[in-house]
């Protein structure tokens, strides 16, 4: 005797992917910070490059976006207060590893 089963997983249609809704309001002239975690990699292909991609995507949705970037001198040390104060006017800060 065999038992008939029904696959519970459903079918994925590749074109069906949708973005999550974002109900929050976007403020005027938002300032976004990118804190790169190691100064030696600031011009490299890693987080700095990713931050440019993120900036491009954000500018498509927020034309009046302001961007501020800074880098920590050493990856393994936390940012000091003076550096953090530079970001205090930012609506959000994206912080990334150098690699």
- Binding interface with another protein (CB under 8 A): 1-13, 16-18, 20-27, 31, 81, 84-85, 87-89, 91
Toward another protein, which CB reaches closer, 7 or 45?
7
Toward another protein, which CB reaches closer, 11 or 45?
11
CB of residue 51 to another protein, shortest distance in Å? 20
**Cα–Cα distance measured from residue 39 to residue 48, given in angstroms and rounded to the nearest whole number:** 10
As a residue count, the chain comes to 99
**Cα–Cα distance measured from residue 37 to residue 21, given in angstroms and rounded to the nearest whole number:** 30
**Cα–Cα distance measured from residue 24 to residue 53, given in angstroms and rounded to the nearest whole number:** 22
CB 68 within 8 A of CB 30: no
Toward another protein, which CB reaches closer, 6 or 53?
6
CB of residue 86 to another protein, shortest distance in Å? 10
């Amino acid at each position: 005797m065999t038992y008939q089963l029904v696959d519970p997983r459903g079918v994925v249609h590749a074109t069906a992917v949708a973005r999550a809704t974002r109900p929050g309001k976007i403020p005027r002239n938002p300032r976004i910070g990118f804190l790169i975690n190691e100064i030696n990699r600031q011009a490299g292909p890693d987080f700095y490059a990713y931050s440019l991609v993120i900036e491009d995507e954000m500018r498509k949705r927020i034309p009046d976006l302001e961007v501020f970037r800074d880098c920590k001198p050493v990856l393994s040390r936390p940012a000091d207060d003076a550096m953090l104060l530079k970001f205090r006017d930012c609506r959000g800060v994206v912080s990334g590893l150098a690699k």
